[in-house]
């Protein structure tokens, strides 16, 4: 996925970009296309724009089937019945809006590469900020590109390195040394192997599992552990940051560390919002973390000390991601938890609409307050994040119109003040309400200014300290760059410096 924090300027939620999934079955007579389908559908939340599968056919050639659409639309029974093979990889993708070229078939993954020397297929979740430099170097060596993505840069880098050695582990080690980015990457080779690689800082989740029955044994790799669960597998462990895992239908699972880093940088947003609650990432339960984030918010919340307020208070989640947090809050606050907002599940992507008016209308289409629950109540509204603030503002006004006495917003993520350069689709600093208001009003006043802007009676965010405690990881293990402005990648810091220089030249 290309670096794109500035392509989509219209979202009101951070957007995860991809899921990867792979299966290698020992049983050569068994086809794993159904398993790939299940792994993708369980990770549909990580990408809804396009989907694809690459399977190794008997005889060693790779067949790739991919298209725009949801997993169930693209991989229907007819398509699956034609995809036979015991080893394969799969991908769900989120493409940014407003970038038409990214809609074409070449940009959909898995990315299938074949020339006279090598054939492989690649599925990738992440971003390589230094891909322009790498592309230029490769072009100088005569490589010809057909897309403008870091995915193709990785593929060309592999093909270029394969000129020097036949050994896949050596090729991948060499490739990893050139990439400075966030990536969880699967490669299906024509020799019937899957290689799974996680970047040295471990931004994106990636885990392995196995499924053993009397008849057969499968090795599984998945962005999230819910993908392993859905095919009946057991989670073995996470792929370590900087590790290459080799899944072979013949030889099982083998591992090699390529680069060991002093720190890691797992994206904190996986716990706050992106990942499914039933997933476990780097040994941490997403559901448990969200529950704890809610408990943290209720602890020391001054509003709860007012008996008059408590008399009519209810805890309401913004569905779906606010649910576990609201349960934790209600549990700690000893207040009733009420599903005071009804979500229409059949409206897709309301948070990704161009223009503020359209986004506000879309919120009404998607969320409707349950009047009988909220009328005459002090509503404590739990959500995962505030990005632009427009969606939160509309939700608050809907709850007020339904007769709430007051609307008090509690946010499980600390204020998001900076964009992401590591593969999450975010607005720019000036479009992030907390980023803009912090610069305008300073540290002391900006939260209250946000409160006024969104029309809440009170507003509290999670602290960074409490976020780390809930996840159980420290600042040397998590990426929190969108909360702190401290970016853990050299290439990103170079880009930021470059952007600053351009902007000061303009001024």
Active site residue 479: no
* Sites for ligand SF4 among residues 372-431 (CB under 6 A): 420, 422, 424
Q: What 3 state SS string does 128-189 have?
A: CCCHHHHHHHHHHCCCCCCCCCHHHHHHHHHHHHCCCCCCHHHHHHHHHHHCCCEEEEEEEE
Q: How far is the CB of 45 from ligand SF4 (least distance, A)?
A: 15
Q: With CB under 6 A, what is the number of residues at the site for ligand SF4?
A: 12
* Cis? peptide before 110, omega within 30° of 0: yes
| Nearest-approach distance from CB 93 to ligand SF4, in angstroms | 17
Instruction: Please state the φ and ψ torsions of residue 376, each to the nearest 5 degrees.
Output: 75, 15
- Is residue 461 a contact partner of residue 411, using CB atoms and an 8 Å limit? yes
- Rounded alpha-carbon distances, angstroms, from residue 174 to 129, 165, 208, 320, 445: 18, 10, 23, 42, 49
Instruction: Assess 3 for contact with ligand SF4 (CB under 6 A).
Output: no
Copy the structure tokens of residue 227.
Answer: 């993908």
Ordered DSSP codes for 253-287: EEEEE----SS--EETHIIIIIS-TT-EETTEEHH
* Active-site residue, from 18, 413, 479, 482: 18
25 vs 127, beta carbon nearer ligand SF4: 127
Q: How far is CA 186 from CA 43, 124, 208, 311, 460, in A?
A: 16, 6, 12, 54, 40
Would you count residue 482 as binding ligand SF4 (CB under 6 A)? yes
Q: Which stretch binds ligand SF4 (CB under 6 A): 72-80, 113-121, 185-193, 267-275?
A: 267-275
**Residue among 388, 308, 305 nearest 352 (CA):** 388
- Check residue 470 for interaction with ligand SF4 (CB under 6 A): no
CA distance 343 to 487: 35
Q: Does 268 bind ligand SF4 (CB under 6 A)?
A: yes
Q: Which of 202, 124, 94 is nearest to 479 (CA)?
A: 202
For residue 351, how far is the Cα from the chain centroid? 15
- Which C-beta is closer to ligand SF4: that of 3 or that of 122? 3
Q: How far is the CB of 242 from ligand SF4 (least distance, A)?
A: 17
Applying CB under 6 A, which part among 144-152, 247-255, 347-355, 475-483 lies near ligand SF4?
A: 475-483
Of the candidate residues 284, 480, 492, 495, the single one contacting ligand SF4 (CB under 6 A):
480
Query: Shortest distance, CB of residue 229 to ligand SF4, whole angstroms?
Result: 24
Q: At closest approach, how far in Å is the CB of 362 from ligand SF4?
A: 23
325 binds ligand SF4 (CB under 6 A): no
Q: Are 21 and 90 in contact (CB under 8 A)?
A: yes
Q: Which two tokens stand for residue 308?
A: 């008059």
168 binds ligand SF4 (CB under 6 A): no
Considering only 134-142, 213-221, 265-273, 435-443, which stretch makes contact with ligand SF4 by CB under 6 A?
Answer: 265-273
Q: Judge whether 227 and 19 are in contact, CB under 8 Å.
A: yes
Check residue 479 for interaction with ligand SF4 (CB under 6 A). Answer: yes
**Closest residue by Cα to residue 277 from 42, 479, 36, 464:** 42
C-beta of 348: minimal distance to ligand SF4 in Å? Answer: 22
From residue 4 to residue 23, what is the string marking binding to ligand SF4 with x (rule CB under 6 A)?
Answer: ----------x---------
Q: Does 128 bind ligand SF4 (CB under 6 A)?
A: no
Of 203 and 373, which CB lies nearer to ligand SF4 in the complex structure?
Answer: 203
Contacts to ligand SF4 by CB under 6 A: 14, 203, 267-269, 420, 422, 424, 479-482
Q: Which residues are catalytic?
A: 18
């Amino acid at each position: 996925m290309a670096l794109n924090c500035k392509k989509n300027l219209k979202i009101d939620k951070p957007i995860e970009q991809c899921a990867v999934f792979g299966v290698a079955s020992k049983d050569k007579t068994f086809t794993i296309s159904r398993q790939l389908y299940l792994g993708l559908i369980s990770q549909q939340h990580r990408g809804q724009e396009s989907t694809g599968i690459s399977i190794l056919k008997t005889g060693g050639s790779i067949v790739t089937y991919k298209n725009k659409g949801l997993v169930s639309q693209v991989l229907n029974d007819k398509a699956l019945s034609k995809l036979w093979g015991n080893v394969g990889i799969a991908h769900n993708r989120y493409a940014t809006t407003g970038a038409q070229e990214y809609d074409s078939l070449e940009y959909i993954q898995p990315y299938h590469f074949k020339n006279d020397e090598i054939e492989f297929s690649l599925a990738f979740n992440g971003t390589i900020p230094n891909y322009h430099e790498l592309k230029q170097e490769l072009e100088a060596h005569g490589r010809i590109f057909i897309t403008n993505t870091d995915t193709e840069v990785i593929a060309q880098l592999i093909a270029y390195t394969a000129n020097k050695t036949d050994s896949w582990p050596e090729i991948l080690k060499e490739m990893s040394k050139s990439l400075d980015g966030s990536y969880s990457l699967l490669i299906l080779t024509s020799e019937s192997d899957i290689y799974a690689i996680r970047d040295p800082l471990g931004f994106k989740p990636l885990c392995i599992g196995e499924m053993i029955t009397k008849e057969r044994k499968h090795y599984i790799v998945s962005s999230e552990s819910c993908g392993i669960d859905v095919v009946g597998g057991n989670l073995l462990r996470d792929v370590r940051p900087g590790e290459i895992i080799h899944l072979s239908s013949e030889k099982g699972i083998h591992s090699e560390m390529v680069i060991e880093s002093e720190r890691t940088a797992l994206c904190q947003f996986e716990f706050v919002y992106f990942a499914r609650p039933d997933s476990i990432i780097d040994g941490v339960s997403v559901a448990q973390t969200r529950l704890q984030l809610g408990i943290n918010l209720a602890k020391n919340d001054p509003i709860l000390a007012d008996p008059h307020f408590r008399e009519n208070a209810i805890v309401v989640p913004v569905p779906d991601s606010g649910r576990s947090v609201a349960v934790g809050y209600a549990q700690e606050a000893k207040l009733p938890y009420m599903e005071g907002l009804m979500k229409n599940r059949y409206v897709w992507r309301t948070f990704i609409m161009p223009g503020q008016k359209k986004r506000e209308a879309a919120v009404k289409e998607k969320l409707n307050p349950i009047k009988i629950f909220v009328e005459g109540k002090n509503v404590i509204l739990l959500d995962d994040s505030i990005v632009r603030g427009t969606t939160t503002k509309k939700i608050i006004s809907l709850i007020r119109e339904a007769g709430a006495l007051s609307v008090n917003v509690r946010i499980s993520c600390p204020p998001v003040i900076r964009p992401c350069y590591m593969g999450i689709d975010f607005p720019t600093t000036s479009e992030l309400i907390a980023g803009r208001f912090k610069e305008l009003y300073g540290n002391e006043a900006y939260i209250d200014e946000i409160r006024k802007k969104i029309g809440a009676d009170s507003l509290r965010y999670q602290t960074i300290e409490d976020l780390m405690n809930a996840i159980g990881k420290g600042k040397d293990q998590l990426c929190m760059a969108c909360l702190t402005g401290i970016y853990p990648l050299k290439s990103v810091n170079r880009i930021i410096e470059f952007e600053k220089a351009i902007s000061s030249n303009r001024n």
